[in-house]
Amino acid sequence: MSIKTAVNLYIVSTMSDSGKTAIVSALLRVLSRRSLHVTPFKAQNMSLNSYPSIEGGEIALAQAMQAYVAGLMPSVHHNPILIKPMTSDRAEYIILGKPRAQLSFNEYLNDDAIRHLAINAVKSSIRRLKDEFDLVVGEGAGSAYEPNLASRDLANFRPAEWLDAGVFVVLDIDRGGSFIQGLGLIKSLPPGWRKLVKGFIINKFRGDEKLLSTAIKWLEKKTGKPVLGVLPYVDDLWLWPEDSMDLRPIGNGPLNIALIAYPYISNFNDVYPLILEDDVTVRIVRDPRELGDPHLIILPGSKNVVASLDWMRRTGMDKELARIRGSAVILGICGGFQAMGKLLSDPYGVEAGIPGDYRGLGFVDTNTIYGIDKVVSLSRAVGLRGELENVGIRGYEIHRGVPQYAGDEPLIMITERNGKTTKQLDGVLREKELIVGITLHDSLGDPNFRSFVLNMARELAGLPRRNSSASSSIELLLSQVDRLASIIEDKLDIDFMVNDN
């Protein structure tokens, strides 16, 4: 690739879920292969799925994924503002990795102190990334331009302007109206931001590209902006998810696994390593009538465990889980583990929004105490019981809740957090009742833990025990991105994008 003067890139769209995250990931992979020192960047992300950064802060899972794709460790500067919804009208605002406030969106937009902090965080991250890397590949959020939010934009054109980036607009043709949306965006933008747009990328096309030639010429003539390529619809790609819109079933094997998709579900990428197991079927269960009689039930993480428990009681999911208790393996991960306990004590209201004590499902004899400080770490642990005794396990932690044991014994000892030695008892195992709890996210990405849980379910199902693939969740991720990178390298004019035209 011949580069005269490399320019930073900013990928935006006219809507959410158009494929921006996947395209940025693939571009990072392609450009890093071409000996460019590249980095991801998303100024502001709203997501319940998060990940620890190398500094010990919290960023969106999608930007952590993009960092690994670029050959980097995730940093708070890859995503300086993370918004994690707590209720329908309030969210936790995490700036440069640290929780700063719990506000409504209107309060966030109008609170001068928090806005000043957020703007400075975005600008300082941009300065740092520009200094340290050959090229920054940024990603916008949602719709790139909304007239009611434009003056307070911290996600799309304003950070692209600060980054001196060329902006490329992704048009999701699968959902229709993409050419009109592209024209509408260009016509709506203020002249200064309109100049930043260098072209369009048509995404998720099914069929013969020749059918689009007339429409492409129309859009280019109307806007004066080129179409850089048409990307096909890829429906079997498994990248780390941005939000619950990415929830989908896995596999078609005899091992029946039910993932309970309650409100505020978070970090459900925990189940993605099950893609490596050819004998599993993972179903997404949103209604107790859909539960059936699985061999394994997974209670995933939740940003608001109290609200998720309330939903389970309102819908009758708690009764269905109680019915099947003892006849299916039940695995609770982080918030799911907390939900299985007897009591959740939230004296500061940091989990539920309102201080109080809340009743869990009562499946295990543990209580959870929520503190002000949040544990955010890449962690290592060692098993204490059963087949996991003295077995090393890796994962990550993002939680305020700490387990208190009121009768059950811990499953593991967390021995390391962000490279520092620690000793924290965690998890639970009730072998006779087939119940497993653990706080470590991505524990199913660890082959030892994955084999342990799945073999419990296989024995129940009358299936042969087996050792899990040795591939890690990151190795699985890279293999998926490589597939998309090959497509993008073939279909997209990347040389045009990165050269200062």
Please identify every residue annotated as catalytic: 334, 441
Provide the pairing of β-strand 165-172 with 197-205: parallel
Residue type, 133: F
Alpha-carbon distance 58 to 74, whole Å?
9
Q: Are 38 and 32 in contact (CB under 8 A)?
A: yes
CA dist 227 → 189, 244, 281, 492 (Å) = 18, 30, 40, 9
Residue written as token pair 């009681």: 313
Which single residue is written with the structure tokens 């990178």?
485
Round to whole Å and give the CA distance between 394 and 410: 17
Cβ pair 358, 309 in contact under 8 A: yes
Find out whether 302 and 270 touch, Cβ atoms under 8 Å. Answer: no
Q: From start to end of 104-243, where are the E strands?
A: 135-139, 165-172, 197-205, 227-232
Rounded Cα distance, 123 and 144, in Å: 19
d(CA 368, CA 339): 9
Residues 181, 194: Cα–Cα separation, whole Å: 14
Give the separation between CA 374 and CA 371, rounded to whole angstroms.
Answer: 7
Mode of pairing for the β-strands spanning 296-299 and 343-346: unpaired
Q: What angle do CA 122, 94, 149 make, to 5 degrees?
A: 60
Which of 95, 98, 48, 56 minimizes the C-alpha distance to 73? 56
What is the 3-state secondary structure of 6-31? ECEEEEEECCCCCCHHHHHHHHHHHH
In terms of DSSP H, where are the helices of 133-172?
157-162
